[in-house]
Chain A
Amino acid sequence: MTNIHVTVARPLLDTDRVKVEAFLAKKYGEYTVVYHVDDSLLGGIVIFDGEKVYDGSLKSKLDALKTNG
């Protein structure tokens, strides 16, 4: 069973939570998920499955802009 950590900038709406759970089920099958709230992300979502990080946060997009400047 895969342990998933999901971090968002603000608590997920119910509709968003359903979509996230559907995504995780399709991708990992059996899993456990822990939700975290970090307002420094500004928006979007970050998923960590123990091996790989899926970073869709606004902060990472702005950091990429800064780097590619």
Chain B
Amino acid sequence: MTSILASTILGIDWVKILMHLIVFVVLMTGLTFLLYKPVLKFIKKRQDTIQEGLDKGKQMQEEAESLKAEYDAKLAACDQEIADKQKTAQAELDAYLEEQKQSADHDIAALKAKAQEDIAQERQNAVEEMRGEVVDVAIKLTEELLEKEISEEDNSKLIQDCLSAWGGEHD
């Protein structure tokens, strides 16, 4: 037995090597079952957890991008609506200003026509007044002239004409 255990070939203790190999194998086998597989399992589990997190993150990113796209579309729609309403309001304002301008033009034309009418009336009144004054002066002159110039014959003729008109007789 000792001779077997102590046998060497070429100076190498093959029994010890074999024993070491057997111990190594046993150790490795034990580590495999006690350490390697649990560690592997733990690593797999952790890997799955990480992957799950990555997948979830990717999903959330996609959802966020989808929401962003949706909000961008809504913002664009709001911007368009605002632009449309601004355009409509501007058109209404322009129409209102045009209406006010036309109303003002109409009022100005009416005032101008009224002023011209008033001027014409004033001119007519002045002409009438002047005509009256001229008539007054002419009549005054006529009175003064008649007072001096009417003859007995003319006066008699005048009386005769009146009596004829009133139903009298004349020779």
Name B residues whose Cβ lies closer than 8 Å to a Cβ of A: 131-132, 135-136, 139, 142-143, 146-147, 150, 152, 154-156, 158-163, 165-171
Contact B147 A15 (CB under 8 A): no
Interface footprint category on A: 20 to 34
Contact A20 B155 (CB under 8 A): no
Contact A19 B170 (CB under 8 A): yes
Chain A, 19-45, CB within 8 A of any chain B CB: 19-20, 22-23, 26-27, 39, 42-45
CA distance A46 to B131 in the complex (A): 29
Name A residues whose Cβ lies closer than 8 Å to a Cβ of B: 8-10, 12-13, 15-16, 19-20, 22-23, 26-27, 39, 42-45, 47, 54, 56, 58-59, 62, 65-66, 69
CA distance A48 to B142 in the complex (A): 26
Q: State how many angstroms separate the Cβ of B170 from the closest Cβ of chain A.
A: 6
9 more contacts with CB within 8 A, not counting A62-B143, A65-B139, are: A12-B159, A13-B152, A16-B160, A19-B163, A20-B159, A20-B163, A23-B167, A44-B159, A58-B150
CA distance A27 to B162 in the complex (A): 14
Q: State how many angstroms separate the Cβ of A40 from the closest Cβ of chain B.
A: 9
Contact B136 A66 (CB under 8 A): yes
